[in-house]
Amino acid sequence: METVEKLGAAARVSLQLLILFSAVSCFLARRLPLRSGFLELSAPASQPPPLASTSGLRSRSSAIPNAGSSSASPLDPLAYRSGSWGDSPDLRLHAMTYDVETPGGASDGSGGSSGVVGTALVAALSERGGQVVSLLAPGVLLVAAPPGVAEAVAAEAGAELAELGPQQRTAPEWGPLLSQAPAEAGTGGLPLQRRRRRLSGGGDWEAAAARVEALSRLQTFLPVAVPGGAEHEHRRRRHLAEAVEPPPLYELSVQLLPVLTAAAVEAAEADWPAALEAALAATAEEGSAGGGLGACAPLVVAPRGPDGGAVVSAQSLHVFVCEQDIGPAVHWLACQPVVRWVAPELGAGANSARASIIMQTGSLYNDDYDDPFDARRPYWEAGLDGRDEVGDTGLDLSHCHFADPSWSAADLAGSMNRSAPGGDPHWRPGPGAHRKLVQYWLAPGAVMGDAPDEGGGHGTAVVGTLGGVCLASMDPFGNGTLIRFSSPDSSSSEFNTPIQPDVNSTDPSLGPLIFDLGTGGAPRAKISFVDMGVRRIPGTWSQRYQYPILPPWPMDINYLPLHTSVGASILSDSWSMETNVYEQRAQAFDRFLWRYPDVVSFAAVGNNGTTALTRGGTIGTPASAKNVVGVGASVPLPWSWYCYALLARGYSGGFLTGPRRMSMTVWPLENGKLPSLWGQLRYNVEVRLTIADPLDACTPLKKPRADTEGAVVLVKRSNCSYAEQVAAVEAAGGVAVIIINNLPDMMPAPPDPVLPNGGTLATRLPTSAIPQGVGDWLLGNATSGLSLSIVSASVGCDTNAVPAFSSYGFMPDGRVKPDVVAPGMLMVTAQARNTTSNSAGGECFTELTNNFGTSFATPQASGAAALMRQYLRKGFYPTGDPTSPAAAPFTPSGILIKALTIAGARDLAGGTIVALGSKLGPAPHPYQGWGRMDLSRSLPLKSPGGQAQAGPSTGPNLTLVDRANFTAAGQQLVLTGINATGQGPIIIALVWYDFAADLDSTVQLVNDLDLEVALGSGALRTVVLGNNGEEADSPAPDRVNTVERVLLSSPPAGAPLTVTVRAASLPSALLSGDPDAAQPQRFAVVALGAFSGGFGSALNPAFARAQQQDDHREKVPPKAAPKKPRARTLPLRRKPPPQRAPPPERRRGG
C-alpha cells in the first residue's frame, strides 16, 4: 500500500492534470462543468426567435423560462410591483462561448467556437440591450439579455449557448438542507444539541444527522446585528406566548445581477417578504411550524451603509427563514430572473517574542529560545519596527501593549454605543492622537470590550501579536521585570522576565518602549480596529458559534473600506468560515483588492488541519480568495524538539510482526464527557487497531473476540445511533471506539453516545471521530492485508514543521493555498480581562497567555509585512542601506508586498507535517504553500558601512518592478539587466490581483498572465515557465494560479536573465455588465538571489532613480574653471614703435 509520505509529492500536478482532462473532456462533449452541475451547450436554432424591443418587453404577468426547461412559470406579480425594476425582470441568463484571444489572435483551444471574437460578441449584445456579467469558464461568458437576444447573437456569431435555470443559481453547499425538513411540529425550534440527542435511531437517522450538522454551520438571525431586526423580532413574538422563544431564522445570502439599481434592491426589500411568504405558505405541509407564517415570517434585508441609511450595493440581499422553509425559499429565490446565486450564510469563528526572531533571521536555536532577549532582530535594530503602518483586528485598550497615558479605556468605551439612540459607533482620535489606535469601530451587534467570559479575548491576543508593545513610562511594576502570566486554563503565575528598553526610540512624548515575551512583530504599528464580536447567544449547541463574529456586509463596501479610509494598507483577518470553496466573502475580498491594489490582505486559513486527506483541502474563507495572502501556521520550536501524537501503524506480517509498511498520525475528535483515548494509551506501547465487522457496528460484531478484546475499534458512521454502535463494540471487549465520518466534512461535534430520548451517556468507553479521508485510508490499508496498531508517540516538531491544526490545500481548482506559513504555535500573547477597565490614563495591566492557531500566525505575517513596506518607503531598496546614493524610496503596491512575501519564503522541505506524521515536500506544497515567511530572504539589509546584517552569507540581491499593467491580451513586458553571479539560486516571482470569479465556476482564474524566464544566450539558452521545474519534461503554462514563480537552483556565473511577462488572456475587459471590470490588469515582478544588476525598466524605482540622477547631471552645465589672479608687478615702459622711412617724394615732370 502506498504510504502517506508519497501523497504530497505530485499532488498539485495530478490535480491540475485532472482538472484539465475534465475540462477538455466536458468541452468535447459540449458539457460545461460548473460547481452546481453540468450545463449542456449547443448551437442555437437555425431560426432564432424574433428579437423583442429593449423597452417594455412584456407585461409583468407574462411567462419566463423555468429552470432552463421548456416549460414556463409565471413571473410572481407580488415580487415586481414597483416600477424601479425597469426591464430587469425580463432578462435571461445564458452561458455563451467565444474564442479566447491569445498572442497572435488565434484561439488557444481552451474553449469556445472557432472564430467567435469576444469583443465583437460583446458589441453585438450591447447594441441589443444585453450585457456580459461574468466569466463562467475559459471561453464561456455569462450573458444577461432580453428574450431572444442571446440566441440571435449566438446564431450570427456561430457561438454555442445554454440557458441557466434555478440549478445554476443554487450553491451546492446547501446539501441536505434542500431535502424535506423534519415533519414533527416544533422540532426545528429545539436547540441543536437536543436535536442531536433525539436522533436515536431509525432509517432516517443518517439524513437527519447530516441536516443537523449542516444547520450548525449556518448563521442565525441576530436582531441587534440586522437593520430592521428588532422590529421584525417584535412582530414574531406577538404570535407566541410570552415565555416561548421564537424558532431560529437561518440566513440566506442572495447575489443579484450586477445590472440592477439601488432602487430595485429597495423594492425587493419592501415587496419580496410578502411574495416569499405567499410562496412558502403554498408549499407548507399541513401541521408544519413553518410556511412563512407568524413567528416564521421571512425577512429580506438590503445592504445599507455602516451606519444604516441608504442602500450601498445593488448586488446582494440577505433573507431569513425558518428551518422548514429553507428548501422552498431557496427554490423561490433561485427562480427569480434577477437572482444570480443563492448560498447559505455560514457562521464565522475566530480561529510573539520568539516568533519575531524566526521572522527576521529565518532560524531559532535553543539558546535563543531559552533567552530570546539576547537574540538579534536585525530589522528592528535597523529602525524597521512598523512605525506609520496600519493593521486591523480587536483589543482590550487597558492592556499595557495598547494603553496610552493620555486616554482612559473606560472613557473610550463610554463614548461609543451603537445600540443607544444616536449612539456613535466610531472612535477616531485623529492623526497621532493615540499611540496605537487610528480607529475603533463597532460593527452592528457588537459591544465594545474583549471579555473572555463573554466570548472575547481572541482579538486582544491577535492584535498584541501584530503590534503590541508596552511603554516604559507605563510599566505597572516600576522596574520592568515582573510580568503576570495567565495560562489558557485560567491559572496564573508570576515570573521574572527581562524587559529591554527600546534604545532607538526618539519620541519625546511617549518615551522608550519595553519588550516582553508578548511583544508584537511590528511594535510601532498603528491599529485600525473593527469590533465584530457578538456576545454569547443562549441556546446554541456549538461552542464555536456561541460567540459569533459578524463581519459587516457587503464586505467590499461596508467592512474593508473602513480600514483604507484611515490610511490602512495592510489588512489582517484572523477569522474564517469552515468551507473550502470560493464563496461570496472570498469573492468580496477579491473584488476589493482589484479596486484597491495598494492594499495587501493577510487572512488565516483556519485550524482544520486534523481533518486530513479531505479532497480540496480545508482552507477556510476569506483566505480562499485569489488575491489574499492565506497564512498557515509553522512551529516556533528549535531543532530537536518533538510533539506528542497518536500514530496508526501497519505491519505486513501480522500485529507487531514483520516490517512496518505504513505510519501516519491521527487526531480523533474526542468527547470531553468521556475518558480520553490519549489517556487510555500508554506512551510507546502499541495497541491493536481493528475494523468492526459489520463496519457500521449496528448489529453485534462477528469477529472473534480475540480480535477485538483490548483493541481500539474502527466503526463507520451509519444509520444507527452512536449508542448502538458503542454498545456493540463494548460487548465485543473493545476498549475504545473511533467512528469514521461518512461525510467529507469534519463532524462539528464529537460523537455523543446517549440513550434514546434522553441525555444519559450509554457508555464510559473513549469515543471519538476521525475524518472520512483518514478513515478510508486506514480501511484501505487493512483491506490490503496490513495489521493495524495505534500508539501514543512523538514526531519531529521544530521550525521546519507545520503543526497539526493548520489547514491545508490545495484548493479544489488546484490553486496553491496556503500562500505562506508563519509561527502560530505556543505564542505568548496579551491576555484580555473580563471587564472593561476603569483605569485612568497612565495605568494598565500586563497579563500574558499562551495561544496557538493560524489566528496568531496571520498577525505575525502582517506585522512582518509592515516592516517590509516601511523598508521600501524609507529607502532601504535596492542596497539595504538607506544612506546609499542609490537609495530609491517609494510607496509599494499591495501586489508587490505579496510578491516579496512569496518570493522570499523559506522552503521547509524535509520538515514534518505533524497532521500526517510525514515529511514536507518542496514548495509549493499543500501544507506549507510557498514556504515560511522570512524577511532575511526577502530584504537585503546592510549597515551604513556595507557589512551584511541579514540573509545568506552572500547576501540576497533584490530587484523589482511595481505597478505594471496590461490592457489587452497579447501585451508583454520584457525585463533585462540582471546576470547570475554563480553563487547561489535565483527566484523570480510574478503576482497579480485578479478580477473576482463567478461563484459557480470550477476554476477561479479570470485574467491569465504567464511568466517566462530565459537563462543564458545562443545555443546555451534555456527557458523556464512559471510554476514549472527547471527540468520539467513537458512544461505547460499555469492556468490556475495568480502567482507564478521560477526557481533557478544554480545558474552559471555571468549568464544573463531575460524575464518576460505576457497577458495570455484578459476576459475581464469583456464584462460590460460590471463597472469594476474596466480597470487594467495590474501586476508586480520580484527577483531575489545571487545576481548582479537590476531590471532596466522605468517601473523599477531604483532604475528610475538612477535615470533621474543621470538626467540631472546632464542638464547641469559644467562650471568654468576659475581664473587665476595675476601677480601685482611694477608697470613697464612701453617700447616706442619702430621708425619707418618716409615715402619717397613724387617728382613732378618739368
pLDDT surpassing 70 at residue 508: no
Tens digits of residue pLDDT in 772-800:
999 999 999 999 999 999 999 988 888 89
Tens digits of residue pLDDT in 296-337:
999 999 998 876 778 998 999 999 999 999 999 999 999 999
Residue 848, pLDDT score: 86
pLDDT surpassing 80 at residue 416: no
Residue 720, pLDDT score: 86
Tens digits of residue pLDDT in 745-775:
767 778 888 877 666 888 889 999 999 999 9
**Phi first, then psi: what are they for 889, rounded to 5°?**
-65, 140
Cell numbers describing residue 221: 438571525
CA distance linking residue 863 with residue 469, whole number of Å: 13
CA distance linking residue 549 with residue 603, whole number of Å: 15
Residue 273, pLDDT score: 95
Residue type, 1140: R
pLDDT surpassing 90 at residue 228: no
**Beta strand segments in 542-677, E:** 570-573, 575-576, 600-604, 629-634, 642-651, 660-666, 669-670
Q: Residue 637: which pLDDT band, with cuts at 50, 70 and 90?
A: confident
Cell numbers describing residue 153: 447573437
pTM of the entire structure?
0.87
Cell numbers describing residue 230: 428588532
Which residues make Cβ contacts (< 8 Å) with residue 233, sequence separation at least 6?
Answer: 221, 223, 246
Q: Residue 142: which pLDDT band, with cuts at 50, 70 and 90?
A: very high
CA distance linking residue 1039 with residue 111, whole number of Å: 13
Arithmetic mean of pLDDT, 1026-1049: 95
Domains of the chain from N-terminus onward? 4-165 (no CATH), 172-345 (no CATH), 350-637+804-919 (3.40.50.200), 642-794 (3.50.30.30), 952-1114 (2.60.120.380)
Arithmetic mean of pLDDT, 603-631: 94
Arithmetic mean of pLDDT, 528-535: 78
Q: How far is CA 464 from CA 236, 391, 520, 693, in A?
A: 42, 11, 6, 52
Q: Residue 426: which pLDDT band, with cuts at 50, 70 and 90?
A: confident
Residue 70, pLDDT score: 37
Query: Which of the residue ranges 420-429, 484-493, 671-680 has the most confident prediction, judged by mean pLDDT?
Result: 671-680
Arithmetic mean of pLDDT, 585-590: 96
Residue 919, pLDDT score: 94
pLDDT surpassing 70 at residue 1033: yes
Tens digits of residue pLDDT in 1084-1111:
999 999 999 999 999 999 999 999 887 7
Cell numbers describing residue 394: 480587536
Contact assessment for residue 297 and residue 236, using Cβ atoms and an 8 Å cutoff: yes
Residue 1032: strand, helix, or coil? coil
CA distance linking residue 385 with residue 468, whole number of Å: 11
Pick the residue with more confidence: 390 or 828?
828
Percent of the chain with pLDDT over 70: 74
Residue 280: strand, helix, or coil? helix
6-15, 409-418, 760-769: least confidently modelled range: 6-15
Exposed / middle / buried, residue 78 (Cβ in 10 Å: 0-12, 13-18, 19+): middle
Residue 982, pLDDT score: 93
Q: How many CB atoms lie within 10 A of CB 944?
A: 10
**The residue to which cell 421584525 is assigned:** 232
CA atoms within 13 A on the CB side of 273: 17
**The residue to which cell 512598523 is assigned:** 386
45-54, 167-176, 431-440, 1050-1059: least confidently modelled range: 45-54
Residue 384, pLDDT score: 55
pLDDT surpassing 80 at residue 575: yes
pLDDT surpassing 70 at residue 564: yes
Exposed / middle / buried, residue 1121 (Cβ in 10 Å: 0-12, 13-18, 19+): exposed
Exposed / middle / buried, residue 238 (Cβ in 10 Å: 0-12, 13-18, 19+): exposed
Residue 88, pLDDT score: 94
Contact assessment for residue 438 and residue 526, using Cβ atoms and an 8 Å cutoff: yes
Pick the residue with more confidence: 469 or 276?
276
Tens digits of residue pLDDT in 77-94:
999 999 999 999 999 999
Across the chain, what does the average pLDDT equal?
Answer: 80
User: 34 has which bridge partners?
Assistant: 37, 1001
Q: How many CB atoms lie within 10 A of CB 484?
A: 15
Tens digits of residue pLDDT in 52-75:
433 332 333 333 333 344 334 578
Query: Which of the residue ranges 41-55, 205-219, 1026-1040 has the most confident prediction, judged by mean pLDDT?
Result: 1026-1040
Contact assessment for residue 1038 and residue 1005, using Cβ atoms and an 8 Å cutoff: no
Pick the residue with more confidence: 729 or 351?
729
Residue 493, pLDDT score: 38
Eight-state DSSP code of residue 582 = -
Residue 210, pLDDT score: 77
